[in-house]
Structure 1
């Protein structure tokens, strides 16, 4: 982040905030200060800065944190966004474009280029922004899901192929993967040319995602029950929300934030458990909105989510201002028949998931 601070008495000043990388436990142990150099130091999440710093400093640090997450260089004046003419493509000083080319983008320029390899793809050691254990897949559950999703008839052969088909051609498209899990969708989208940022509330899953995307997507540990403060308005061309919607409690806020960060004309993909699958499994009323714990196989693990009727699921999305373009009930790809014919036949007879593509007007 670069901030120009004109000061008549002392002369103009230019302030820079640089990303210092990730400090893991071992690096923290190596920090040593001279006597009386510092009395104390602490680490705080960005959302607490307003209560810790004076206003102009808080603005600058928050702008720098947001720029780092999105892989942008941000130019400010007195801690405020600089005039639009400053936000032009800029290349590195050696003229070869090394380090990437950065430019602001709005609805008129959906092809913004970002330096994804140098952005913050590292796992953040910020446990204070992870999601509640009743919502996200932490620890053993996260490890189990990461392995399961790799080859599962439900994830690998049904939901994931369906969502990728709905996304279509994503070359050069800026995509936010909300609840990116172990990074399976993010890796696939990046491999197809998309510029992806994945956010996930489980540090366990994000470790798996970090290994899977191999630097080809940006990753951020982020509580999905909190606003998407790291992203500016109209920052993305598309948003993917695969099998996470039913786990979120504050869905109204999440949808409002997704609509904010999507450019006009951008698309939103959402997949969820099929309402009739839950009805068949749990029984009771089809219209129940109970929160349930679904055991996983023979293990002691379970996933926690809310049952949603079709009316509720679509009603929430439409009420948030999105327009429905396509609705599908995903069935497994033909490849599954070669591996597990019984699962292939079962998932072609009984619906398991529901997926929709919506558009932001």
Structure 2
């Protein structure tokens, strides 16, 4: 299948599978899986943090961060479109008793510091305690600038807030900014990195922070059932992804721009309202097009999409080639041009 639904659908390559099956294993809950330990040590050093924790998913990594930084009755500031507010089943509130305070995202994905400032609660027992600001980079495919992240760090210092980054696609951001990932991570007290999106591992995310924070997060991970025993199989894939699949993200970005351009050649499709910064493309589809018929026809041609009329999202990744994009466009043109 040619799958444009997300970059989470990538499959491990032959070399990654080889690394997985040759991984030296132990019991990670006892702390003696050498492959997990090697990944966590490498990841902490690579991203400029004291410690790292291998987790099953980005959702788990974000939840651990919020629960390790915040106590019951605290709140965190985030974007209205933030993944850890909108798409993670309310975990911080349900499992951590941590209240989210969402702020409307600006068009570029950033958060207005004036609005953030006004949302910080007074030191009054009537209110939740505002403890943390969570940013996301990339967000909706858009990239937060280094200047903005530096401003966010200063804002948090001035307001005694912790600064966390949901860095699910942080390597896409680094590639788009043409900087090393440490030029992003330097601004944050903690950060997550998803290994199973554009980097192409089958499972897993990393949580990064100082030693005390990671120790607390590790305890909470156990509490939430996140100990994975012989997890070295998965850690080996994550290590391979970090060492081999970063530079190729530029190809995904180029393919996304190509995809957006080609979609505009299809009658009833228009991407002009959306900027393509990384590997995510949004397109508006004319309402006179039958979405269900379109989706069915694409599936007949072994093409998968997440269909909608406004802002339909298509994602490029390592398993999508320019030829695959041409196939998609060809099928659409046969239907609508």
> Does the alignment reach a TM-score above 0.5?
no
Q: What is the TM-score of this pair, normalised by structure 2?
A: 0.33
Larger RCO, structures 1/2 (Cα 8 Å, 6+ apart): 2
Larger radius of gyration: 1
Task: Please identify which structure carries the higher helix content.
Answer: 2
Q: What is the TM-score of this pair, normalised by structure 1?
A: 0.31
